[in-house]
Amino acid sequence: MGTAPDHLYQDYVMVEDTENCLIAAVADGLGSKISSQRGSNLICQLIIDFFKKEDVDRFAPCFTDNIIEEWYQFLSGKGVDSSDCQTTSSFLFFDKLSSRILMGTIGDSPIYFRQDKTDVVSLSHSKEFLNETECIGGRTRPHYRLKELEFNKAFDCLIATDGFADEIIEGREEGLFDYLESKYMKIRVSERDTMLKRELVSTIKGLNPDDKTLFYCWINK
């Protein structure tokens, strides 16, 4: 969600839900970079493409490093300076066959999650010295901060760019999760995105000028 009709969106989100897996990718291009939208779009597409592969170990420690390497190689092959495409990146991968979950984040697009209706936990990076956000395309090549879980009875997850995450009140995350699940489980799947966008516009659009992007899901056995 941007701030005006002609607004250039730097956030990007992609979701792939198949018979065997659920993949969600959220990225926030750094606003000071001229091609940050391209960087955020590309990393989301690569996450979807890589995790759809079923002939590799998608939980291997080096697997997500390969995604980042492909991001740099693709831009280099197009003659594009990666520093002009800087972006944060966060993802969720749920392997429905093995009931394993992998989450990863780079930068200030946090992941909030909870298992079996316990406390909500945050997976995020803090800003580094000089208030610089860790990102793909920055001065050093980053690595995802990863969290792997075994799915048991229930799992819900929220991934947000900082335009939305900055408005989440610490200690109130559980109430937010309960609200989202109880409200949107009653809404038809085809209408959920539209309803959520309307709610964002009516409640937090004027609080800060950043793009506001989020992905929320709940999984129950």
Q: Find all residues with CB under 8 Å of 215, minimum gap 6, and list them.
A: 13, 15, 24, 26, 92, 157, 158, 159, 160
Mind listing the domains of the chain with CATH numbers?
A: 11-220 (3.60.40.10)
- pLDDT tens digits, one per residue of 11-64: 899 999 999 999 999 999 887 678 889 999 999 999 999 999 988 999 998 999
Task: Provide the pLDDT for residue 208.
Answer: 58
CB atoms within 10 A of CB 157: 24
Sign of CA dihedral 203, 207, 213, 214: negative
- Helices (DSSP H) in 52-122: which residue ranges? 63-77
Cα(208)–Cα(167) distance, integer angstroms: 9
Task: Provide the pLDDT for residue 129.
Answer: 43
- Point out the least confidently predicted range of 4-13, 69-78, 116-125: 4-13
Task: Provide the pLDDT for residue 211.
Answer: 74
pLDDT for 72 beyond 60? yes
Cα(28)–Cα(90) distance, integer angstroms: 9
**Three-class secondary structure of residue 101 per DSSP:** strand
- pTM score over 0.85: yes
CA atoms within 13 A on the CB side of 92: 31
Hey, what amino acid is at 135?
C
Q: Map 110-179 to HEC letters.
A: CEEEEECCCCCEEECCCCCHHHCCCCECCCCCCCCEEEEEECCCEEEEEEECHHHHCCCCCCCHHHHHHH
Q: Are 43 and 66 in contact (CB under 8 A)?
A: no
